[in-house]
Amino acid sequence: MSTLSGNWREAIDDVDAALIDGYQSGFPIAERPFRSVAADLGIDESAAVDRVRALRESGIVRRFGAVLNPPVIGSSTLAAVRAPADRFDEIAAVINDYRQVNHNYARDHEWNMWFVVTAGSQDARDDILAEIEDRTGCAVLDLPMLTDYYIDLEFPVVNGDRFARESLEDRTDASATRISEAATGDLSALEAELLLEIQNGFPLSATPYRDIAENVGYAVEDVLEAIERLRETGCIKRIGCVVNHVVTGFDANCMVVWDVPDDSLDEWGERAGGLPSVTLCYHRPRRPEQEWPYNLFTMLHGRDPEAVDAKIDELAADYLPVEHERLYSTETLKQTGARYEDLVGR
């Protein structure tokens, strides 16, 4: 249980709670978006802006703006190494030195260091992996996403849930979406400029889109249309408050890997991805030559490790009755947004 999970609740009221849980997505694409947010919350426009700013400054909201989708915009992969204990910090420093590495976690497994590499092309991504192998002397387990069944870290946090989405009863709409390693976003000049401008978040003002438009030198109407296109094409996954799940107590996250029969993969992936307790579900390749037999990945986030373990037991008994391993994260070694300068070619 996070030591911060109680303190953050004392700092918010019902309106803050409505913002946190109600606007992780669906933030309006309009010249004065906070007007409709304020009307929904029963406050005035400036108060809505101030509350989001206060939530960000307190650390409850990590960022406000668009959640971008690196595999659609560039080429991304999940990778791992077996880092010897006496070289762990050295190897982490080498990997974290790459700006294309935006996440790196220690996990309690033989493959004990897991990181994400996102680059402008598959060749550039693979070159980075080869460099990491050369510089560290560690073989890299390269596991690009092949199918997305469900990927969304949007879930209510103003509650007493022991694991993410525990209080939700309805299944999620999960479906198999193929991911091409070679795919890159077909971006206009404006769309590319926008991705660079918004990658760290939106300006916190009553007119964030107008501010963005002024910064990139386009009319606000053009920017609104381009943001909508980026959302429709999947380059933008959602727009709203990006919640800090660790601060809000969801720090018992577990990556579970499963050895699913290939002919059942889509059926079982969609079934698991539709469960409220599963926050991420996707297909990655087996690597039998590296003794990695697993092809389905799920993530569960919780405040209580025992509750998360019990939910994994249920998942294994009722939905995925196959061999699996549980890889709990033990330390965050690096966590930043993907950098898009290389991805969009600007």
Domain boundaries in the chain?
A: 8-58, 71-176+246-344
CB 306 within 8 A of CB 254: no
Looking at residue 331, its pLDDT comes to: 92
- If the chain, 346 residues long, is cut into consecutive pieces of 10 residues, what is the mean pLDDT of each piece? 62 96 96 97 98 96 91 88 98 96 94 93 93 98 93 85 79 69 73 92 97 97 97 92 91 94 96 90 97 97 92 96 95 78 55
Looking at residue 338, its pLDDT comes to: 62
Positive or negative: CA dihedral 292, 295, 301, 306: negative
Looking at residue 181, its pLDDT comes to: 65
pTM metric for this prediction: 0.85
Looking at residue 4, its pLDDT comes to: 41
Cα separation, 69 vs 74, whole angstroms: 9
Spatial CA neighbour of 117 closest among 147, 154, 142, 137: 142
Name the CATH code of domain 71-176+246-344 (choices 3.40.50.300, 3.30.1330.10, 3.30.70.3460, 2.40.420.20).
3.30.70.3460
Measured from the Cβ of residue 299, the count of other Cβ atoms closer than 10 Å reads: 19
Looking at residue 346, its pLDDT comes to: 42
